[in-house]
Structure 1
Amino acid sequence: MPVTILIVDDSKLARIVAGKAVAELQPEWQKLEASSGEQALALMGKEPLDIALIDFNMSEQDGLELAREIRALRPDMPIAIITANIQDEIIAQAREVGAAFIPKPVTSEGLAGFLSGAALKLRSSQG
């Protein structure tokens, strides 16, 4: 079954970098991009999304708020918060909403553990 990952970041360059890192690890996965939380939620209503990578610092709403909204809609969706703002408080808040924490810049090495865990979770939930 094809997997679709949503990359949410208000920076086009950051979405490209994250998309390339995902493609290195999971070239067969489909990638969708959103530049805001509002756009991400709109896509969730239209597309079958499996995984979300969400930037923490976005202009309209922060990534943790968006992660909470997604979690309410999709309790089992693997979610990761990506940010260059590496603070214990943000890491703790990400864990509270059941999201992984990935430091920026996003690399395939930084994503590997999260994506393999997400893929395993998706396979086991479909079985």
Structure 2
Amino acid sequence: MPVTVLIVDDSKLARIVAGKALAELQPDWQKIEAGSGAQALELLGKERIEVALIDFNMTEQDGLELAGEIRALRPDMPIAIITANIQDEIIAQARAIGAAFIAKPVTSEGLAGFLTGAALKLRSSQE
């Protein structure tokens, strides 16, 4: 069964770029896009989503807040925070909630390690 990845970013262009990188690495995986944290949480309630890629800088709430809410709902979900704002404090906060950190712009090279780890985690949880 294909894995479904939620891409959350208030920039449509950034969602397209992340989706392209995802498709290069995992062509069988499906993507669902959300333009806000509220939309992401709504989709999580309706759809079967296994992985989340979340932008850090969004207008309504930042990606770390959203990741924390998702972590409370889905403790084992692989989550990555995506941002061009590369600061040690943000990286440390992402790691504290069990999220990976991926620098923007998202490339297949930048996403590869996270997706490999996510695939392994999902496979081992299904066994």
Range into which the TM-score falls when normalised by the shorter chain? over 0.9
1:34 Cα offset (Å)? 0.1
Residue 118 of structure 2 corresponds to: 118
- Give ranges in structure 2 of 5+ residues lacking alignment: none
1:10 Cα offset (Å)? 0.1
Separation of aligned partners in 1, 2:87 and 2:31: 28
Residue 25 of structure 1 corresponds to: 25
Residue 102 of structure 1 corresponds to: 102
1:103 Cα offset (Å)? 0.2
TM-score (norm. length: structure 1): 1.00
Aligned-pair identity (%): 85
Residue 34 of structure 1 corresponds to: 34
Counterparts in 2 of 1:12-91, with a 5 A limit?
A: 12-91=12-91
Residue 9 of structure 2 corresponds to: 9
1:29 Cα offset (Å)? 0.3
For residues 33-72 of structure 1, what are the alpha-carbon distances to aligned partners after superposition, in whole Å with 9 as ceiling and x for unaligned?
A: 0000000000000000000000000000000000000000
Separation of aligned partners in 1, 2:98 and 2:36: 20
Separation of aligned partners in 1, 2:122 and 2:51: 9
SS in 1 for 2:49: coil
Runs of 4+ in 1 over 4 A off after TM superposition: none
Letter in 1 for 2:82: I
TM-score (norm. length: structure 2): 1.00
1:2 Cα offset (Å)? 1.3
- Give ranges in structure 1 of 5+ residues lacking alignment: none
- Count of residue pairs brought into register by the alignment: 127
Letter in 2 for 1:16: I
